[in-house]
Structure 1
Amino acid sequence: MGRPKPVFLVDYSCHLPPPHLKITIPRIIDHINKVREAHPSCYELTEEASSDFLVKIIERSGLGDETYIPEAVLKIPPQQTMAAAREETEQVIFDAIDNLLANTKVSTRDIGIIIVNSSLFNPTPSLSAMVVNKYKLRSNIKSFSLGGMGCSAGIIAIDLAKDLLQVHKNTYALVVSTENLTRNLYIGNNRSMLITNCLFRVGGAAILLSNKSADRRRSKYKLVHTVRTHTGADDKSFRCVQQEDDNKGKTGVTLTKDITSVASRTITKNIATLGPLVLPLSEKFRFFMTYMRKKFIDSKIKHYVPDFKRAIDHFCIHAGGRALIDELEKNLGLSPIDVEASRSTLHRFGNTSSSSIWYELAYTEAKGRMKKGNKAWQIALGSGFKCNSAVWVALRNVEPSVNSPWEHCIAKYPVKLDL
């Protein structure tokens, strides 16, 4: 009776934007040039932050020619109004939820918990209230909107839902992860702020969790572990990703030079916590012996990096950028196929913030690789600075859901990228 209640992932859905929002890299560059010519004040790029810099970042980003940007951003000049931002977010969230409800046949009256996470767009009424209004959810629903928590907020939302499902019996939790680009396009000339324009794209996911024992048979996964690591007590960690105004008063998100070292340190702490929970005894023993030798015999001995592939079958590394995927591939000793889902998601959809790990899980399913008993590890980084992990176990051989975002393009992947 004292055991935690199992949390099942019944199904999830990722938003696939309409074809007219698809944009190629040459079209992005052409669009920026047209905006600069027609409205110089929108992109006051100096020689230091020229369009050549943007081109270089985009070409090295790992993004392909089929990512999506909001309709308001495609206009000249871009429309960064509250109404346009709401329209983008409503399109993403409602499409994902509609598809999820159609696939699961769950009544909205049975949903007892709603959690929506969006880091930079947090209007009033809240995004969770927007969902309550649209789907006429019941009046005693537990409603939460998570803001300002970066790209790792999707796992924070899952962890919060897990805790709530331990308290509220026989109910469903709807988790929605998204981000808004319309309101947060940076139009200044600060290089450290321009990088986000090159990487982020439209995307979102809706996830249905249950603590009902009867849902086990039809669910895709069971949640095994969540591990959250927060290094925000350190000033460098706290400030390495920060929304602020540039010297001309234009708002953007700054990425400092400390982000690489901060991310590495935070990932290491997260993995050190997760390792003992998932690794087999042999790997734990090797890690312990190396640690003792390093501490008492020879401090120059390298830390032993456990072989997580002995415990994890599929890796969903947040598609934050090519450099992030490369770093984790190297540090965890992963093979190209282990990071294939992350690289393919980055190429096809770009950095969709907290929802990227769901596009990656959907990729694995679309490839037919998710077998009963397989474990999938979702790992994401976010401002603050945070590194969060979630481990799921497949309850059956998982097939892709209806209207999977990879339904019409999975045969083209993986693609070979020029390094």
Structure 2
Amino acid sequence: MSPAASKNGHFPLTLSVKLKYVKLGYHYLVTNSVYLLLIPLAAVILTNLSTANLLLDLCTKNSAILTVTSISLALIATVHVMRSPRKVYLLDFACYKPFPGNLCSKETHMRVSSATGRFTAESLDFQRKILERSGYGQKMHAPAGLMATPPDQSMAAAREETEAAMFGAIDDLLDKSRVEAREIGVLVVNSSTFNPTPSLSAAIVNHYKLRGNVLSFNLGGMGCSAGLIAVDLAKRLLQVHPHTYALVVSTENICRNWYLGNHRPMLVSNCLFRVGASAVLLTNRRSERRRSKYQLLHTVRTHKGADDRSYRCVFQEEDQHNIVGVSLSKDLMAIAGEALKTNITTLGPFVLPMSEQLLFLATLVARKVFQVKKIEPYIPDFKMAFEHFCVHAGGRSVLDEVEKSLGLTEWHMEPSRMTLYRFGNTSSSSLWYELAYSEAKGRVMRGDRVWQIGFGSGFKCNSAVWRALRDIGLEEKNSWDGEIDEFPVHVPRVAPIVY
């Protein structure tokens, strides 16, 4: 036995573990402070029970007082119910899983890129290094148009890719939810860089023969965070249009936007984005609460577009040879961190327990009012507010930064990292592959809170907060079926490539 061990054979608690229990004790004390304060109040009431009986007897004998009191309480309750926004429920969701024929390993990516004859040896080597350090596996999916020889980037191929992804996700969703397409009253579709005419939302209306008065919206150019923008828009519409369903579809097109130049900041997106789509069914019908999965609690949107550096950090433009591509700035991670900080500052008061808010306020006052510079800024512990985290799988560096900034564990980041490994960056739909991962692992229990965090061009950081209304059973079908037991896998941590 080590000399550090105690006589009973147990090792003493380290300082960090002791502080952890102190903090938990403080958290439970503050959280239950209302109940603790009620104890002396109850004691006072019990000691003055005769006075309370006298007041009750007075109200009972005086019918006028009783009537006025009852009417007043009824009016207050009615006004409160009428002014409260309609609750929005997530009935179900589905993620598109392409056919095995569309699998694109790292070697396949390099073969396709080399076969174009458009990339220099230096550019091919750069792409190879990006893939090696990306955190990607070997089972991601690419569109059929790009897998062809030579690659087909036509409008027809792009439509085929996007419609296959959207319709595949919607078909699965309608099958699982047992909702008829004509019952859908709101449709919101988001695709950043592929916006044909007629729109993608019109393609869905046509394919599923949605009713003529459906409220249809098509969001373009809003980047990887547009999925949560679409959810926020659908929520606002459901709060003013009663007794209906809202379908939110998120996707991105790869085929049409494959960059065929040699400008490194534009080559990165070729290596990152892969095929994916999600379909989410929301409703404001109270009768659907019983079979819904989640209730939407909060949506918070942060837009940093007023700052020029943020505005241009993800930018679609021509390179020096007039070849169109999406350029990713070297400042992207710093800008994403600033946007996340602004977003959580807004979201914090809605979700953090009072114990965390008091600690944050105390350190803020000490630093700003009393000028105590030795005190570090307090980063609230969001693990006390949420059980599950879905961080946009935009890239390994993004996930590393968020994990560090929020003090999350490997378990909390597992859905995001495994989604990146298995499906790659599927843009705005990635958050739903991550939630599907947690469900497939049997981790989502009734009452659990889920935080979805999306980043996108503009620059934007958006959040959505959900509460599980029931346990999510392992038997429920989703995009991880047949392979969830293979995960998690170990993904080596390597330094990102500098370009």
Tell me if 1:229 matches 2:313.
no
- Aligned equivalent of 1:335, options 409, 412, 417: 409
- 2:155 pairs with 77, 82, 87, which one? 82
Map 1:121-140 to 2 at 5 A.
121-140=194-213
Q: Which residue of 2 aligns with 1:45?
A: 120
Counterpart of 1:364 (choices 422, 433, 438) is: 438
Q: How does 1:220-299 map to 2 (within 5 A)?
A: 220-296=293-369, 297-299=371-373
2:484 corresponds to? 410
**Aligned residue number for residue 378 of structure 1:** 452
Residue 153 of structure 2 aligns with an amino acid whose one-letter code is Q
* 1:268 to partner: Cα distance: 0.2
Q: Is the 8 A contact 1:362 1:400 kept in 2?
A: no
**Residue 72 of structure 2: aligned partner:** none
User: SS in structure 2 opposite 1:217?
Assistant: helix
The structure 2 residue matched to 1:73, chosen from 142, 146, 153, is: 146
Pairwise mapping of residues 208-219 of structure 1 onto structure 2 (< 5 A)?
Answer: 208-219=281-292
Q: TM-score, normalised by structure 1?
A: 0.97
Q: Which amino acid aligns with 2:183?
A: D
Which residue of the other structure, out of 114, 123, 142, is the alignment partner of 1:33? 114
**Would you say the 8 A contact 1:103–1:401 is kept in 2?**
no
| AA of the residue aligned to 1:31 | V
Cα deviation for residue 44 of structure 1 reads 3.5
Q: Is the 8 A contact 2:187 2:214 kept in 1?
A: yes
Report the alpha carbon displacement of residue 77 of structure 1 after superposing the two structures with TM.
2.1
2:466 aligned counterpart, secondary structure: strand
Return the structure number with greater helix share: 2
1:398 matched to 2:472: yes
Counterpart of 2:347, as a letter, is: L
Instruction: Give the equivalent residue in structure 2 for 1:2.
Output: 83
> Whole-Å Cα distance in 1 between the matches of residues 245 and 350 of structure 2?
26
- Where 1:99 maps in the other structure, the secondary structure is helix
1:98 aligns with 2:171: yes
The 2-side partners of 1:169 and 1:401 are apart by 32
Superposition deviation, residue 23 in structure 1: 1.5
Separation of aligned partners in 2, 1:31 and 1:136: 38
- The one-letter amino acid of 1:302's match is E
Give the match's secondary structure for 1:337.
Answer: helix
Give how far 1:224 is off.
0.6
Q: Which one-letter code corresponds to 1:417 in the other structure?
A: V
Q: Distance in 1 between matches of 2:346 and 2:150?
A: 48
The offset of 1:52, in angstroms, is 1.1
Partner of 1:116: 189
Please list the CA deviations of residues 178-225 of structure 1 after superposition, one character each: whole Å capped at 9, or x if unmatched.
000010000100000000010100000000000000000000000011
The residue type equivalent to 2:201 in the other structure is S
Summarize the Cα distance change of 1:401–1:118 in structure 2 as closer, same or farther, 3 Å threshold: farther
> Could you say which residue in structure 2 is the equivalent of 1:40?
none
Give the Cα–Cα distance (whole angstroms) in 2 for the partners of residues 110 and 121 of structure 1.
27
> Is 24-33 or 224-233 further displaced after alignment?
24-33
Q: How does 1:294-333 map to 2 (within 5 A)?
A: 294-296=367-369, 297-299=371-373, 301-333=375-407
- Structure 2, unaligned stretches of length 5 or more? 1-81, 494-499
Specify the SS of the correspondent of 1:154: helix
1:163-182 to structure 2, matched below 5 A, reads 163-182=236-255
CA drift of 1:256 comes to 1.1
Asked if the contact 2:112/2:146 (under 8 Å) is kept, the reply is no
* RMSD value, Cα: 1.0
- Judged with a 3 Å threshold, the aligned counterparts in structure 2 of structure 1 residues 177 and 401 are, in CA distance, closer, same or farther, namely farther
Alpha-carbon separation, structure 1, partners of 2:147 and 2:469: 42
Higher relative contact order (CA 8 A, sep 6+): 1
Measured in 2, the distance between the counterparts of 1:65 and 1:149 equals: 29
Q: Which amino acid aligns with 2:398?
A: L
In 1, distance between residues paired with 2:188 and 2:429?
14
| Residue of structure 2 in register with 1:39 after alignment | none
String of CA shifts for 1:76-115, please: whole Å, max 9, x gaps: 2211110000000110000111111111111112110000
After superposition, the Cα gap between the structure-2 partners of 1:402 and 1:90, relative to the gap in structure 1 and judged at 3 Å, is farther
Q: Deviations over 1:214-270 (max 9, x none)?
A: 000000000011000001000001011000000111110001122122111110000
Structure 1 CA distance for aligned equivalents of residues 105 and 464 of structure 2: 33
Residue equivalent to 1:195: 268
Are the counterparts in 1 of residues 115 and 150 from structure 2 also a CA contact under 8 Å?
Answer: no
Partner Cα distance (2:288, 2:315) in 1: 41
TM-score (norm 2): 0.81
Matched, 1:184 2:257: yes
Secondary structure of the corresponding residue to residue 369 of structure 1: coil
Contact 1:46 1:189 in 2 (8 A): no
Indicate the SS of the match to 2:412: coil
- Take 2:264 and 2:460, find their aligned partners in 1: how far apart are those partners? 23
Find out whether 1:17 has 2:98 as its counterpart: yes
Partner in structure 1 of residue 429 of structure 2: 355
State the percentage of identical aligned residues.
55
Do the aligned residues in 2 keep the contact of 1:15 with 1:96 (CA within 8 Å)?
yes
8 Å CA contact retained: 2:295, 2:468: yes
Give the 3-state SS of the residue equivalent to 2:212 in structure 1. coil
Query: What SS does structure 2 have at the residue aligned with 1:83?
Result: helix
Aligned residues: 411
Question: Following TM superposition, by how much is the alpha carbon of 1:300 offset from its aligned partner in structure 2, in angstroms?
Answer: 5.3
Cα–Cα, structure 1 residues 362 and 21, in superposed 2: closer, same or farther, change >3 Å?
same
1:62 corresponds to which residue? 135
Q: Please say which structure displays the higher CA radius of gyration.
A: 2
**Partner Cα distance (1:99, 1:402) in 2:** 12
Q: Report the AA paired with residue 192 of structure 1.
A: P
How far 1:30 sits from its partner (Å)?
2.3
1:335 Cα deviation from its structure 2 partner? 0.4
Q: Measure, in 2, the Cα distance between the counterparts of 1:416 and 1:270.
A: 31
Between stretches 21-30 and 215-224, larger displacement belongs to: 21-30
